[in-house]
Structure 1
Amino acid sequence: MTQSASHHDSLLPAIGLRLLSVLLFAGMNASIKLAQQGGAALGEILFFRQFGAAVLVTAVIAAGPGLGTIRTQRLGAHVTRATVGVISMAFTFAALIALPLAEATTIAFTAPIFATVMGALVLGEPTGWKRWAAVAAGFAGVLIVVQPGGHAIPLTGGLYGLTAAFLTAIVFILLRQIGRTERAQTTVWWFSVLSLLPLGIVFALEVHALPARTWTRLAMVGLFGGGAQLAMTSSLRRGAVSLVVPFDYTSLLWASLLGWWLFGTVPRETTFLGAPIIILSGLYIVWREHVRRRERTAAAITPD
């Protein structure tokens, strides 16, 4: 087998796993809205999301590299990541509940844009005018979708979504730092398990009688979310970020289809106008990051 054929064969599983994670996350998002409509409280939904992930990730690690691989010398970093991650997830779920699926998904696409801003301001990463222009274009797309003052979508829901995207960007930065010493599955395990401690308390305070169908939907939130997390992590082990991340934008297709099928909603005209701008902005930022890392690598291996 030639080197190019081998490389091609390794890319297909990475892309397939990323597409699978997108589909599973879309199913999770729809299950969140269905569970809320069935009477579940936000705290109950959050608990089931993390409980399902903890069970699946623990099973996969136990069957694979072994539970010994979850040992860490950076418990404080994992606690910080779990704290920010849970708050981010709470705002993400609140946005999903308050907004149609397509609009909530579109606003979530701003996370790479916020990550660029945070990387420049907090980490001092070099950011040229082209990437700043992409950031500006992305936020212009958000204004088109949200239409502040125009009531295109509930403003509160839009603010929930933007807050979630901002916090997700902080998680991106934390994961970059943790990823220097920790395996991806180890990080996912600690996030899932540590977050169960506060969410378990919230669940105990909020739990109440629910129809059997709603409990089933809560279980689906956990199973879909845990499976999506594993598929996403596996895709990154097999392919570069610049290869697999662009496929995340196919989630808008699933959100639109599920929103129409399950909830009778279709994307608004402003979403059709603003979403392509946000997506193109995010794709450009991912591409520029790929180019910058390639240039850094070339400079490191080139002799003086």
Structure 2
Amino acid sequence: MLAAVAFFSLMDAGLKTLSTGYPPFQVACLRGAASLPFVLAWALWSGGVASLRVHRWSLHLLRGVLGVTMMVCFVYALQTLPLSTAYSIFFVAPLLITALSVPLLGERVGPRRWTAIAIGLLGVLVLLRPSGEGLVSVAALAVLVAATGYALSAIAVRVLGRTDSMQSMMVWLMAMIAVGAGALAWPDWVPIRAADGWVILGVGVAGALGQYAITEAFRVGEASLIAPLEYTALVWGVLLDLSLWGVLPDAITWLGAAIIVASGLYLLRRERVHVEAEHP
């Protein structure tokens, strides 16, 4: 999960760069298409053609729709938001994963963890203040939609992992994002500039590595345990914002992020206590 966060942060920096010259649907398409050859090559090398077999098409299609929605909304937000601000809002995703793991995965979440989730959501409200990049910002709301898609997709991976291979989950998700977003982007397609070729290649490599790492993490790990590691993205976001765009988060962003991260770390601690109680 830590490796996935690092790779996705580098990929997001590339997506933010591309978002200034191409529509969100096209950037989402380029993300899927650029990663697909690497993912497909790895899948065929590690598991052969048989590993691409699909047992639950409905869940794969659901992940495809969620993937396109998540990518388009996040790329749209990156047109105006710094990476660190977008990540801070996106941190609601681990809280959603923990909450959704109860009805969808049958995992147990006690009153203390529900309290931590509620406190984390208060942190999101701090970030979505009614001024600047706050509640009136369509970009901020787009990040929330992306976070919800991410949470649902992570839950779907846990269910799909019972019947379908990691290779099939990765390949078909990238293919659906490339085809689905590409079809929606086609009417307003902008010719790709040669100078952006290296950025697109970097997005493809980083995205493929990140997708492998995160799919494996949610396949073998308990969702409510590994999800809080997503918070390490803030470190990457700040470093990339500062080095590439010369911006830093403001005080309100730091405050909201601190509240959300603290609640997530508490969730992680409670999960460890819960696991140790069940398996002393």
Residue 4 of structure 2 contacts residue 213 of structure 2 at CA under 8 Å; is this kept in 1? yes
1:85-96 aligned within 5 A: 85-96=67-78
Structure 1 vs Structure 2: percent identity of aligned residues?
32
Q: Is residue 270 from structure 1 mapped to residue 252 from structure 2 by the alignment?
A: yes
Q: Is residue 35 from structure 1 mapped to residue 18 from structure 2 by the alignment?
A: yes
Q: 2:3 aligns with which of 20, 27, 49?
A: 20
3-state DSSP of counterpart to 2:206: helix
Q: What CA distance in whole angstroms lies between the structure 2 residues aligned with 1:265 and 1:126? A: 41
Residue ranges of structure 1 left out of the alignment (5+ in a row): 1-17, 300-304
Q: Is residue 150 from structure 1 mapped to residue 147 from structure 2 by the alignment?
A: no
- Which shows bigger deviation, 219-228 or 62-71? 219-228
1:120-269 aligned within 5 A: 120=102, 125-147=107-129, 149-153=130-134, 155-234=137-216, 245-269=227-251
| TM-score for the superposition, normalised by structure 2 | 0.87
Residue 40 of structure 1 contacts residue 214 of structure 1 at CA under 8 Å; is this kept in 2? no
Q: What CA distance in whole angstroms lies between the structure 2 residues aligned with 1:288 and 1:184? A: 29
CA RMSD of aligned residues (A): 2.7
3-state DSSP of counterpart to 1:267: coil
Residue 158 of structure 2 contacts residue 218 of structure 2 at CA under 8 Å; is this kept in 1? no
Tell me the equivalent position of 1:44.
Answer: 26
Distance 1:98 1:120, change over 3 A: farther
CA deviation after TM superposition for structure 1 residue 28, in Å: 1.0
Distance 1:167 1:244, change over 3 A: closer
CA deviation after TM superposition for structure 1 residue 266, in Å: 0.5
Q: Is residue 108 from structure 1 mapped to residue 80 from structure 2 by the alignment?
A: no
Residue ranges of structure 2 left out of the alignment (5+ in a row): none
Q: CA offsets per residue over residues 149-184 of structure 1, 9 Å max, x none?
A: 232556222111111112222212222221222222
Q: 1:79 aligns with which of 47, 56, 61?
A: 61
Residue 104 of structure 2 contacts residue 155 of structure 2 at CA under 8 Å; is this kept in 1? no
Q: What CA distance in whole angstroms lies between the structure 1 residues aligned with 2:103 and 2:213? A: 31
Tell me the equivalent position of 1:283.
Answer: 265
3-state DSSP of counterpart to 1:150: coil
Distance 1:292 1:171, change over 3 A: farther
Distance 1:43 1:67, change over 3 A: same
Residue 85 of structure 2 contacts residue 253 of structure 2 at CA under 8 Å; is this kept in 1? yes
Q: Give the number of aligned pairs.
A: 279
CA deviation after TM superposition for structure 1 residue 289, in Å: 4.1
Amino acid at match of 1:201: A
Residue 39 of structure 2 contacts residue 208 of structure 2 at CA under 8 Å; is this kept in 1? yes
Distance 1:238 1:57, change over 3 A: same
3-state DSSP of counterpart to 1:265: coil
Residue 242 of structure 1 contacts residue 290 of structure 1 at CA under 8 Å; is this kept in 2? no
Tell me the equivalent position of 2:42.
Answer: 60
Distance 1:246 1:112, change over 3 A: closer
Report which of the two structures shows the higher radius of gyration computed on alpha carbons: 1
Q: What CA distance in whole angstroms lies between the structure 2 residues aligned with 1:216 and 1:131? A: 44
CA deviation after TM superposition for structure 1 residue 110, in Å: 0.8
